[in-house]
Amino acid sequence: MDITTLKFAAIMLSAGLGIPVLAALNAALGIRLGSPAAAAACLFAVALLCACVVLLLTGPGPLKAVAGAPKHLFLAGGLIAFYVLSITWIAPSFGVGNAVFFVLLGQLVSAATIDHFGLMGALPQPLTPTRATGIAVMAVGVFVTLRA
């Protein structure tokens, strides 16, 4: 493995570590506020502020291309809103671990499909028997963890 691969893997591992923390924090905020939607709105306000700071530091030039971007690409915003709202609402009664484990299972299926077909500009990665076995083992691991 080269240094770039290791760097990317470390960044994504950190992002993955943050997902359950995000779920727990926002679920707790939703309970405190008495509204998962209010907690999600607060989370998105902080996220917008953070993204704007990074944009200012890296240069706002790319924003000029927003008007010409295909409109379907903005559906990602709806997907992240769905994720945050659902985990904020469900985690307090279902458990953060259970909620995130099922999110992980959905990510495995979705990622394998996107990669196999090279959807949305992704680098095609064929679903070989070895890769499918690895995904199946991970899926079984999710269920074993739920039963533990």
> What are the tens digits of pLDDT across the range 129-148?
999 999 899 889 888 887 76
Domain check: are 61 and 112 in the same one? no
Per-residue model confidence as pLDDT tens digits over 13-35: 999 999 999 999 999 999 999 99
The pLDDT value recorded for residue 101 is 87
The pLDDT value recorded for residue 70 is 94
Domain check: are 50 and 89 in the same one? yes
The pLDDT value recorded for residue 147 is 79
- Structural domain harbouring 117: 95-148
Domain check: are 77 and 103 in the same one? no
Contact 55, 47 (CB under 8 A): no
Domain count, the chain: 2
pTM of the model: 0.84
Domain check: are 20 and 63 in the same one? yes
SS (H, E, C) 61-113: HHHHHHHHCCHHHHHHHHHHHHHHHHHHHHHHHHCHHHHHHHHHHHHHHHHHH
pLDDT at position 89 over 90:
yes
Per-residue model confidence as pLDDT tens digits over 59-79: 989 999 999 999 999 999 999
